[in-house]
Amino acid sequence: MSGPAIEPLSVPGSWVVTPPQFGDDRGVFLESFRGDLLAPHVGHRPDIVQTNLSVSAAGVLRGLHFADVPPSQAKYVTCVSGAVLDVVVDLRVGSPTFGAWDSVLLDDADRRAVYVAEGLGHAFLSLAGGSAVMYLCTAPYAPGREHGVDPLDPELGIDWPTTDREGRPLTPILSEKDRAAPSLAEAREAGLLPDYAETKQFYAGLAAQ
């Protein structure tokens, strides 16, 4: 059985993983996560300690979320049903790509996944009703160290889709918390964002374990 194709995104610390699928008249089988094969790219084998599942109506926009480093929370994200546009943003102050973003279509056809390292921001927009997104996380949820940035901030300029999977118009639906999130500039001024040098030290520590 061949392994997945693992390619870096334009935001350092994030990768898109495309697994081979094996289908017959019964259906499809695939290995949705291979930590041993991801490890050479990430620099260490991700220690998955929590799995989350969200189900979203078309137009739901979740994010842009990140957590304090350390320990933050790396995520391995896939869409097991439906379709979402998954977005990764570099929120590490001092990074050469600070403020840059990249996106990947995650759906139940290609069954790609995205690995999001600690210190990066993550968001997605649901493109179909009942889109189910699975997150494998390297740290448990901790409200006191979880933060957000406005995913519609013009400074970020994320190119969110305006139509769903079937071409119907979409209007972003955000939670009250996400709607009230600060802009990138406000989050930076408030000292909420991860520091690039500290994040690199954290990555080095994980690789040494």
Quick count: other Cβ atoms within 10 Å of Cβ 21? Answer: 12
Which residue in this structure is represented by tokens 């957000």? Answer: 148
65 carries an active-site annotation: yes
CA-CA-CA-CA torsion for 159, 93, 142, 173, nearest 10 degrees?
A: -20
d(CA 157, CA 103): 12
d(CA 89, CA 21): 29
Q: Which position among 44, 65, 122, 147 bears the catalytic label?
A: 65
141 carries an active-site annotation: no
d(CA 188, CA 28): 45
Q: Which position among 41, 115, 135, 141 bears the catalytic label?
A: 135
The dihedral through the CA atoms of 163, 169, 175, 178 has a sign that is: positive
In this structure, what token pair is assigned to residue 168? 């119907």
Among all residues, which ones are annotated catalytic? Answer: 65, 135
